Amino acid sequence: MTNQATTAPPISRLRCIQCGAVRDTADQDFRCPECGDLLEAYFPGWVTPSGPRAGGMSASELKERWLQRKLSLLPLDQSGVWRFRELLPALNDSIDAITLREGNTPLYQLQRCARIAGVQTLFAKHQGMNPTGSFKDTGMTCASSFAKQAGFSWVACASTGNTSASMAAYASRGGLKSLVLIPEGKISWSKLSQSLDYGAVTCQLKTDFDGCVRVLNDLVKRMPVYLLNSVNPHRLEGQKTAAIEILEQLNWEVPDHIIVPGGNLGNSSALGKALIELKELGLVSRLPKLSIIQAHGANPLFRSMKESGGKSIQPMSADTLATAIRIGNPASWKKAVRVLQSTGGACEEVSEVEIALAKAEIGSDGIGCEPASAVTLAGLKKLVRSGFVKVQDTTVLVLTGHVLKDPDFTIAFHKGELFKGTQFGEQVGVLKSEQRAPIVLDPTVDAVQRVLKSAESSH
């Protein structure tokens, strides 16, 4: 900690999204002590007499500086999160940043999926290409660094598997101990194995994700444990950078739509916040519409928008094979509603069969993703059918997790076993064209040749 840093005015402050109360530190539950709602970071120094400035720089200077950093060998500059540090809360000493060189993920054009969805230009921002295989790393580098700065030795989260994998990795890298609460039997083995390997104390609670959150919220009131769920505003600040990257990768040409999966609704809130801030700072002149897609079995935001225009939400008991978004009581729903309203985005729901089909379609574009990420393509198809997305619109799907995150789902899908014995059994005909089960053969050239010939004639 340098004297200079401690005496400088804070670059960002924390503000309650409900009552507007402003503070510089948060309690361990990251709730407003006045009204109990969520906090968000805001940057009072951006308003200057010579117009909006972040880190004292104009829009064009920021763009230039961020590009220059790509040539730097400094760990902080090599991180696709800290590269944009003018738009993030500042650490007292950047040496404290825990980074695995997260971010800098690819933006791929999806040609086959574009044809399937009926649009001309479709991109995938693949956040599964982060160090632990999900978008969570972009938030975790930020929030775990603040945990370390605040002097905590324990960090904790409730998770459907990706947050826990990410937290466990960043905690270990930063010399912190981590506690993971996950719903027993409801997360993929890949994600569970990550948190074990990265060194977390991993507890499988006999409840769902929402039950894990309840236990954790009480725990942090009793123990000096730093909460790393997405109610932590520093997590969302880090996650903002994916939106900045998308714009930079499109050479600051604003796409018409960005489509994200919705679970606990932190990520949609973060990406939307980034877009709004980029516009405030003059880095873009208009906003893309940010749309949120939920699984039908875990659709509290979709219902809220339909039934009350986002004024209230009814928690539900959630169920979907896309276990990452199996969430019935999303913490950040008010922030997400604000993003939908400010960007003019839509909220849609998609069925289990639609998710499974879209996942295989993204796979066969040579990209792949985990089930929760595939709601984006499934949702896009619906939004094209309803006319909300036009054929000539440019759309970016945010793929949140890597294809290897849930191999059990993928193998069951291709073997035609995913929906066996379920209520969806009758709808699976539409999946046939995307199912590519492994073929067991005698070890002879003839046998393989026959398969090759038959595959050739069916293509």
342/355 Cα distance (integer angstroms): 27
The arrangement of strands across the sheet holding 22-23 comes to 22-23, 13-16, 39-42
Phi, psi values for residue 110, rounded to 5°: -110, 105
**Which segments of 352-444 does DSSP mark as H helices, in order?**
352-363, 371-385, 407-414
The answer to whether residue 276 forms part of the interface with ligand F0G (CB under 6 A) is no
The answer to whether residue 159 forms part of the interface with ligand F0G (CB under 6 A) is yes
The answer to whether residue 310 forms part of the interface with ligand F0G (CB under 6 A) is no
**Which segments of 48-188 does DSSP mark as H helices, in order?**
59-68, 75-78, 111-117, 136-149, 162-173
61/276 Cα distance (integer angstroms): 19
User: What is the 8-class DSSP label of residue 430?
Assistant: G
Q: Which of positions 19-58 make contact with ligand F0G (CB under 6 A)?
A: none
Single residue of 271, 295, 298, 324 touching ligand F0G by CB under 6 A: 324
The answer to whether residue 137 forms part of the interface with ligand F0G (CB under 6 A) is no
Q: Which is nearer to ligand F0G, 57 or 192 (by Cβ)?
A: 192
The answer to whether residue 79 forms part of the interface with ligand F0G (CB under 6 A) is no
CB 273 within 8 A of CB 240: yes
The answer to whether residue 262 forms part of the interface with ligand F0G (CB under 6 A) is yes
Longest pairwise C-alpha distance within the chain: 78
384/392 Cα distance (integer angstroms): 11
Query: b vs e for 336-360, b when ≥16 Cβ sit within 10 Å of the residue's Cβ?
Result: bbbbbeebebbbbbbbbbbbbbbbb
107/330 Cα distance (integer angstroms): 28
Single residue of 89, 263, 310, 368 touching ligand F0G by CB under 6 A: 263
Give the type of residue at 437: A
The answer to whether residue 139 forms part of the interface with ligand F0G (CB under 6 A) is no
The answer to whether residue 395 forms part of the interface with ligand F0G (CB under 6 A) is no
Q: Which of positions 340-369 make contact with ligand F0G (CB under 6 A)?
A: none
Tell me how far, at minimum, the Cβ of 82 lies from ligand F0G, in Å.
21
User: What is the 8-class DSSP label of residue 231?
Assistant: T
Q: Which is nearer to ligand F0G, 145 or 373 (by Cβ)?
A: 373
The answer to whether residue 233 forms part of the interface with ligand F0G (CB under 6 A) is no
Q: Which is nearer to ligand F0G, 64 or 408 (by Cβ)?
A: 408
Q: Which is nearer to ligand F0G, 11 or 262 (by Cβ)?
A: 262
Q: Which of positions 364-383 make contact with ligand F0G (CB under 6 A)?
A: 370, 372-373
The answer to whether residue 297 forms part of the interface with ligand F0G (CB under 6 A) is no
Tell me how far, at minimum, the Cβ of 11 lies from ligand F0G, in Å.
25
Tell me how far, at minimum, the Cβ of 243 lies from ligand F0G, in Å.
13
N- to C-terminal Cα separation, the chain: 63
- Contact region with ligand F0G (CB under 6 A), list: 37-45, 84-92, 265-273, 428-436: 265-273
Single residue of 12, 138, 144, 162 touching ligand F0G by CB under 6 A: 162
Q: Name the CA radius of gyration of the chain, rounded.
A: 22
Residues in the chain: 459
The answer to whether residue 293 forms part of the interface with ligand F0G (CB under 6 A) is no
Binding site for ligand F0G (CB under 6 A): 134, 136, 159-163, 230, 261-268, 324-325, 370, 372-373, 400-401
